[in-house]
Structure 1
Amino acid sequence: MNEPQPDPARTPGPDQAAGPNQMPGPYLAPGPYAGGTAWPAGPPQPLPQPPPHPAAQPQWSYPGPYPGPYAQPYAWGPPPRTRWDVPPPPGTRYDRLARTPLHRWWRPILGTAAIIVAFLALSIAVGLVAFVVSLVTGVPMVRTGTRLFADPVLDLGFQLGVIALLLPLVLGAAWLFQRRPPGSLSSVALRLRWRWLGACLLVALVSVVLGQAVEAGTLMSAGVDPGFRWAGWEQFLPAVIVILLLVPFQSAAEEYAYRGWIIQGFGAYLRNPWPAILVGAAAFAASHGYTGWGIAYVFAFGMLMGWLAVRTGGLEAPIALHATNNIVAFGVVAASGDMGSAMEQGEVPWEALIGSAVQFAVFGIGVLIIARKWAIQTLSR
């Protein structure tokens, strides 16, 4: 048997030793790895690439959730919606909340004029509604004095309802004319802080009860009848239902007008809050029919409420004391059955001011203590 003979062309020569990465034979291609040179160890290295042409580079990109140089499919779209009402800058005190970036000198003046005109128009409309109600129910109207109806409970409801109309007017004027959030009238948090309002109501209840007790004791010691009587549930229940439903809105409306709108209206021009507090208290006293010592009582009440509004950063404390005081005062009249005198305002004996002083002191000190303990917000954020 013939043995196969090696092919001289396939046999490496003496100067061509086969390496570990070289296959002997005629398949060696010419080049740097031909002729027995070993391939480099490790994975193959990528060949150098020429730099890309400048025209191939992306010229812009858009941020967004899509990967790649073009994050958004389109560069156009509707413009962002501009907000009508602009909040006050952070760190603003309550009396300065109307001075937003959109504040102009004429905005508080125009808003005040609009509130007055709208309130007069609504008062006339309420008078027409009262006339229709009188025709339908047969309850006669009273054309003298400040009363509308001969029925004292119905008259009280209409009187409180007219005052409560100030609330939407003031909130609407803040949004429409001053272009600020209506909640900026409530507090520096741009809303009514209900938890804080509840705490103030508890303090107000204690202070009003103590004030009424001191006032009754002082009047009786001076020989003056405090007017505590009981006319029965038949007369008390209808009146107290009207009182509980409408007095909170009436009290809140007066606070938003005299402590909110007036104080912040002046605060848009002045850095010192005391002129605004003084003007608000004077306007509040002028809107009531008290005489003599009664004027001093109402003015002092307005000064305290204005100071607490600025000190606590909102209207929660003033609303709490105002509503509680009015509910108790109207409730005492309703219990006596003399609802015809519920809206009458006149002379107040000076002995009654002692009870009022106790009420103011207890409420003011109690509110300040709780506000400090709770770290109540007093500046906008």
Structure 2
Amino acid sequence: MFIQQAFKARTEWWRYLVGLIIVFLGWQLFGAIPFMAALFFEAGPEVLTLTQSEMFKVLDSNLNFFLLLLTFAVGLAALFFVIRFLHNQKIKDATTSRKKIDWGRFFFGFSIVAVFTVVTTIIDYNLQPEDYLWNFDMVPFLILAAIALIMVPLQTSFEEYLFRGYLMQGIGVLAKNKWLPLVITSVIFGGMHIFNPEVEKLGYIIMFYYIGTGFLLGIMTLMDEGLELALGFHAGNNLIGALLVTADWTAFETNSVLKDVSEPTAGLDILLPIVIVYPVFLFLMARTYRWNNWKEKLFGKVYPPETLKYSEEI
């Protein structure tokens, strides 16, 4: 099983505490230095008086997008350092229970959410064209596309390796069950988005969407015994979203094809994905990869196999 992979590594509780401190410093301190330096260069000391939403509007859209995603790239490097040297674990074992990473699963997860996002956006654009502005500008869009293709997968991989990989395995081996890491990582993942501009605009009800998304990705990981589907799904969701539609009140305002100018509402738009769309995604994955034994995979115990030893090579 995927969580059981952690028993090949060093799993003392203090290692996870130290590891999280290292990752946080890499992500939120060292990773943020270029972004903060650019803000000071552009706006001077007054930047300290700005809200987070206002900070996102100081720089050129593409530069802002790149520097924000750079913080996650630095965080990912710090996380891989922690996994490799603090826990003595193979990156492969933090990714999947299979003999090697299954990239077919990654692209399947990427494709289903990408196709869904494009199709639903086209339908909504044709039904309610007054809600959109044509925002396409060739040169800025091509620069955005180049940045997004490289940086968005790094951003989403950081979040997946941190929550569905590192913490899912760590909490699982310490708690000796699967439901607790699923719940904790999903709630923390959702809580991480609490400072997003979307929360300021729509209110705290949108946290149900973020936490629900955390549960979706966590269920994918536990049922499929690996991160590949979640890695692909998360990357597809964020990449297509960044290239296709932007709005003035989102975390990433980009030079996308369309701009949503409608007044957002917090209601069915938030609940429908959780209660209808997400179960459909899980159904498609379950049929494709023949998932079974749901109760055991989501609520079963985690036992340390006696035959597993500390990993000697990475």
> When the two structures are aligned, how many residues end up with a matched partner?
272
Q: 1:151 aligns with which of 49, 52, 60?
A: 60
What per-residue deviation string (whole Å, max 9, x for no partner) do you get for residues 139-181 of structure 1? 5578223336421211111001112222122221112121121
**Matches of 1:287 and 1:229 in 2, distance apart?**
32
**Matches of 1:184 and 1:253 in 2, distance apart?**
16
**TM-score, L = length of structure 2:** 0.73
**Computing the radius of gyration over CA atoms, which structure comes out larger, 1 or 2?**
1
Query: Which residue of structure 1 aligns with residue 83 of structure 2?
Result: 174
Q: 1:258 aligns with which of 135, 147, 163?
A: 163
Change (3 A) 1:124 1:276: same
Query: Which residue of structure 1 aligns with residue 114 of structure 2?
Result: 205
> How do 1:285-296 and structure 2 match up within 5 A?
285-288=190-193, 289=196, 290=199, 291-296=203-208
Q: 2:268 aligns with which of 326, 351, 355?
A: 351
- The one-letter code matched in structure 2 to 1:310 is L
**Matches of 2:188 and 2:150 in 1, distance apart?**
26
Q: Determine whether 1:247 maps to 2:152.
A: yes
Q: Which blocks of at least 5 consecutive residues in structure 1 are unaligned? A: 1-92
Q: Determine whether 1:304 maps to 2:220.
A: no
**Matches of 1:161 and 1:260 in 2, distance apart?**
20
- The one-letter code matched in structure 2 to 1:247 is V
Q: Displacement of 1:239 after TM fit?
A: 2.4
CA contact (8 A) 2:106 2:230 kept: no
- The one-letter code matched in structure 2 to 1:294 is I
CA contact (8 A) 2:220 2:282 kept: yes
**TM-score, L = length of structure 1:** 0.62
What per-residue deviation string (whole Å, max 9, x for no partner) do you get for residues 53-74 of structure 1? xxxxxxxxxxxxxxxxxxxxxx
Q: Determine whether 1:371 maps to 2:265.
A: no
Q: Displacement of 1:118 after TM fit?
A: 3.3
SS at match of 1:166: helix
Runs of 4+ in 1 over 4 A off after TM superposition: 139-142, 210-214, 338-342, 355-358, 378-381
**Matches of 2:280 and 2:122 in 1, distance apart?**
13
Quote the sequence identity (%): 19
Q: 2:21 aligns with which of 110, 113, 116?
A: 113
Q: Comparing 311-320 with 196-205, which one deviates more in the overlay? A: 196-205
> How do 1:1-381 and structure 2 match up within 5 A?
93-100=1-8, 102-127=10-35, 130=38, 134=41, 143=47, 144-146=50-52, 147=55, 149-189=58-98, 191-210=100-119, 212=121, 216=124, 226-227=131-132, 229-288=134-193, 289=196, 290=199, 291-333=203-245, 341-343=250-252, 349-353=266-270, 354-355=272-273, 357-372=275-290
Q: Displacement of 1:237 after TM fit?
A: 2.8
Q: Which blocks of at least 5 consecutive residues in structure 2 are unaligned? A: 254-263, 292-296, 309-314
CA contact (8 A) 1:208 1:324 kept: no
- The one-letter code matched in structure 2 to 1:312 is D
Q: Displacement of 1:340 after TM fit?
A: 8.1
What per-residue deviation string (whole Å, max 9, x for no partner) do you get for residues 255-309 of structure 1? 1111111111101212321111111111111111233331111110000101111
**Matches of 1:225 and 1:303 in 2, distance apart?**
34
- The one-letter code matched in structure 2 to 1:298 is Y
Q: Identify, as 1 or 2, the structure richer in helix.
A: 2
**Matches of 1:153 and 1:127 in 2, distance apart?**
12
